A and B are shown apart, each in its own frame.
Chain A
Amino acid sequence: GAVVSQHPSRVICKSGTSVKIECRSLDFQATTMFWYRQFPKQSLMLMATSNEGSKATYEQGVEKDKFLINHASLTLSTLTVTSAHPEDSSFYICSAKGPLSTGELFFGEGSRLTVL
């Protein structure tokens, strides 16, 4: 299947700092990528839809100035958590629709953010 790679897999940062997470489609072009957040024992929560060359579409309740998304190329989307606070600690996962017309989503490995 298609490969989506996410980096870093784990990050620990101090409160108030910004953290950037990268999501790459390695063997296909992804015009659309999705960013999710998952708290322990809870379901995936869609944060935003990232569109190459245009602004991301954020879900209700997600602060666009807090979670900056950039999708500058067909293989790379980035999520920057700005001025991170302990309540931002979570598992962040990106995904992209695969190249087949059946539309499966392929996920990155996820990034576990811990804000101290």
Chain B
Amino acid sequence: RKEVEQDPGPFNVPEGATVAFNCTYSNSASQSFFWYRQDCRKEPKLLMSVYSSGNEDGRFTAQLNRASQYISLLIRDSKLSDSATYLCVALYNFNKFYFGSGTKLNVKP
């Protein structure tokens, strides 16, 4: 079983739609969680950290459910530029990062 699991997608949504991704993790001792965005043939870039209380950054909202061991990312009012692969990451033992395989999002006009 993978440490972090994501639905690979692709999620094909029209501009302006709201889309949500979930990610589950297996190690209950994981300390921190992040969402990264990766464009084709580019390096991953930090989108946002995920806090226990949930956090919002503009159109993006991240939530953590420790009881069920999942993380979510909600994107509101999707833009064409949001098209990318979104990686879920769990940090364990301060130095061990587990990456999900990524969820591909295609926002269409």
State the A residues within 8 Å of B (CB). Answer: 1, 6, 32, 34, 42-44, 46, 49, 91, 93, 97, 102-110, 112
CB-defined contacts of B99 to chain A, threshold 8 Å: 43-44, 46
- With the chains together, A28 CA to B36 CA distance in Å? 21
State the B residues within 8 Å of A (CB). Answer: 31-32, 34, 36, 41-46, 49, 87, 89, 91, 94-95, 97, 99-102
Known: A104-B34, A105-B34, A105-B89. 13 other contacts (CB 8 A): A32-B95, A34-B97, A43-B87, A43-B101, A44-B44, A49-B95, A97-B95, A103-B94, A104-B46, A107-B43, A108-B43, A110-B43, A112-B41
Contact A102 B44 (CB under 8 A): no
> Interface residues of B: mostly helix, strand, loop or mixed?
strand
CB-defined contacts of B36 to chain A, threshold 8 Å: 105
Contact B43 A109 (CB under 8 A): yes
- With the chains together, A91 CA to B40 CA distance in Å? 11
CB-defined contacts of B91 to chain A, threshold 8 Å: 103
- With the chains together, A102 CA to B41 CA distance in Å? 27
